[in-house]
Structure 1
Amino acid sequence: AASQVPRYVRVNTLKTCVDDVIDFFKRQGYAYLGKAASVEELKALSGKKFMLDLHLPELLVFPSQTDLHDNLLYTSGHIILQDKASCLPAFLLGPVAGSHIIDACAAPGNKTSHLAAILKNKGHIFAFDVDPKRVATMNTLLTRAGVTGCQLAQQDFLTVDPRDPKYSRVTHILLDPSCSGSGMVTRGPVEEAAPSAERLQALAGFQRRVLNHALSFPALRRLVYSTCSLHQEENEDVVQAALQEWGSAFRLVTAFPSWPCRGLAAFSGAESCLRASPAETLTHGFFVAVLERCKKGAAPSSLPAAAKENPQPGEETEPGAAPKKRKKKKQPMR
């Protein structure tokens, strides 16, 4: 499966733009074939050819054996080597510039840097991870990517107090918690053993707790829950439990309607979630759900469909999404 997953390259728009990166690769002898029209076209890539992805606007696609770790654009933070499925959460969260966001389980930081790029470094990201080594690595990655306005804390997200005034303007949360990693495609010969039933239950229990905790932030309007797991216990079942717990306070939004691979029919509406896999979407295995707070006194059917094909342009139509700029103390990135 690994051999058929292409090398995806996210253009870091904090430092450059898609056209300039395309020109750079052309000068390095790569042939640019334009925007892909189908997953089949991506599958057929070979040699020194590359394309623009058909779903995501700042994603370039190279043949799977392409190694860009020593490329100047990578070492200077102008491009991020990030699987396409891993780019979905920040893209579907789609915050507007000026938003306050939490990235709850943030290391190694690719999704955090993607959020910063979507925000154009305007706004504030609170990023948490419990592992000190991963936090140190993440700090390096964010600095290289030119990310500012991000407060990185080595802290268990479950210990973060939703009532703390500093989070009173957090309207968006990206939650990509620890999971079995069963969707990750190894590029080596080693196959991971399937997790035991006990391990899955322990992970799912943690995932349910952390999702409920995230939904308790008072100003939250939109949340993306994602895993790189294939197991229903960590995906649809966790989302269903949260929806049952919160009653009519939150609803599931149809994420990326044109995406071909949907959630398993574990409960009514689960097809609003999306899945990714090497066979169907030419990516790692992945799961994404988008939850949105229901407006008080509005029938769910009257709510706007928030899952736009391209969340970035025209986001300012989302009511109150960009808070008026207040003078605030700059918090240095630790």
Structure 2
Amino acid sequence: MKFNRKVAVTLGDPSGIGPEVFLKSLGNKTIKENLESILVVSDPIVLKKLSGDISHNLKLHDSNGFSNLKADSINLFSIKGCRDYNLGSPNQENANYILSCIDKGIEMCINDNANLVTGPINKLQIANYDKNFNDHTSYLKTTTKADNVLMVLTNPKLTVGLLTTHLPLKEVADQVTKSNLTNAIKTFEQGLCDYFHIKKPKIAVLGLNPHCGEGGKFGNEEIEILSPAINELRLQGFGVEGPFSADTAFLDNNFDGILAMYHDQALPVIKTLDFSTTVNVTFGLPFLRTSVDHGTAYDISNKLIANPASMVEALKIAGYGKKI
């Protein structure tokens, strides 16, 4: 089935497995049949460096945008400036280059009504260059001037959203506010409607504290913040329920999405269920952004043994503009 959206791809840190899993994804029948919809934003040297080790029988086609893509080539928008590097050993001097690729990808998606797929980055590497950088999701929000975004992970078995993302655990409770929760639930519902084509999404909200606070014994956020916000939204017609205790909420999943309060409340569960095909999706941007669910994996990047399944699924969701 042909993609109905153009897709810009950034490969992340060239020292990691991002370029590898992209090149390996070209062995997937669906991806190979949709090359005329895919444009890679990269320095040519990054792809050429691996082409001798990862067989794909495709030429690089230099393109100045989405208007002249070929069906039998790897279409490339060239961004020069990648400094010398070794697989498994990130070069701090490449932080600016990595951000330049992301910026160009964002610009193309906005100007050409395309979707974005991003490869894994080293957050500390970028933060050492740009002190305001925290992660892909917040950078995309700031750069596109989006009002509210939500980090979502999805696979065939489960879909989870995160109220907070890359934040020290001791700071999470301060971000559990009625306003943040309301915005997250609304963004979650809209994304499930727009991209997963669920007409009336059912969303479960997890509690912050053990056993949802046990009536206030272990914390009052469920009583003072979560329950009032959820009840208000239910009166407005939103299909949201909770708060549910996180220790049992995943056992019988009858919801279209589960909103967790923090990163490690949900990601260990979804990645344990199906690590290979889980995809990171950002709701709330002016375009759909997907990404692999794994990091740079420097420990194996020089072995060329990475599994491309998550990249394949990320490309499919971005290309079809929806979860298949």
TM tier, smaller: 0.3 to 0.5
Higher RCO by CA contacts (8 Å cutoff, separation 6 or greater): 2
